[in-house]
């Protein structure tokens, strides 16, 4: 009787861990989808501040001006070129951040999947041995 209770407790533990692992898998899957979206469309995931600063030359000029210094005089063509170069750098940084996040999310996903698999097998074995006994 006591051995049977231990098996039931072990099965409940294994299934509870499986439930937690499934929750983690779902969360990591969502994180990975977000990062894939950011890789494909970094304009969607870049911060609103960075996006707004790089939309017009006036907003970009206000962004690069420092209160304690005089901004260099730039022609409109130079200013536009600097703004577009800066925006390209922001998007490159955004992509890099999403690559890192995707790798981290994938690692978490794989760990959660492994934990699930181990405990699912454990729960099936305990259930099979309880049914036989």
Give yes or no for a contact between 59 and 53, defined as CB atoms under 8 angstroms apart. yes
Domain count, the chain: 1
CA distance 22 to 133: 30
The string over 59-91, giving b where at least 16 C-beta atoms fall within 10 Å of a residue's C-beta and e elsewhere, is: ebeeeeeeeeeeeeeeeeeebeeebeebbeebb
The model's pTM: 0.81
Q: Which tens digits make up the pLDDT trace of 73-85?
A: 788 899 999 999 9
Q: Whole domain around residue 70: which residue ranges? A: 2-132
Q: Which tens digits make up the pLDDT trace of 44-81?
A: 999 999 999 999 998 998 888 876 666 667 888 999 99
């Amino acid at each position: 009787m006591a051995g049977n209770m231990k098996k039931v407790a072990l099965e409940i533990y294994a299934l509870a861990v499986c439930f937690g692992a499934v929750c983690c898998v779902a969360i990591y899957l969502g994180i990975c989808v977000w990062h894939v979206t950011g890789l494909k469309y970094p304009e969607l995931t870049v911060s609103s501040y960075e996006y707004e600063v790089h939309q017009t030359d006036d907003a970009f000029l206000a962004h690069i001006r420092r209160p304690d210094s005089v901004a260099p005089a730039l022609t409109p063509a130079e200013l536009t070129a600097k703004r577009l170069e800066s925006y390209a750098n922001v998007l490159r940084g955004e992509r890099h951040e999403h690559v890192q996040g995707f790798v981290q999310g994938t690692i978490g996903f794989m760990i959660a999947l492994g934990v699930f698999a181990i405990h699912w097998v454990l729960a099936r074995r305990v259930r099979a041995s309880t049914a036989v006994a």
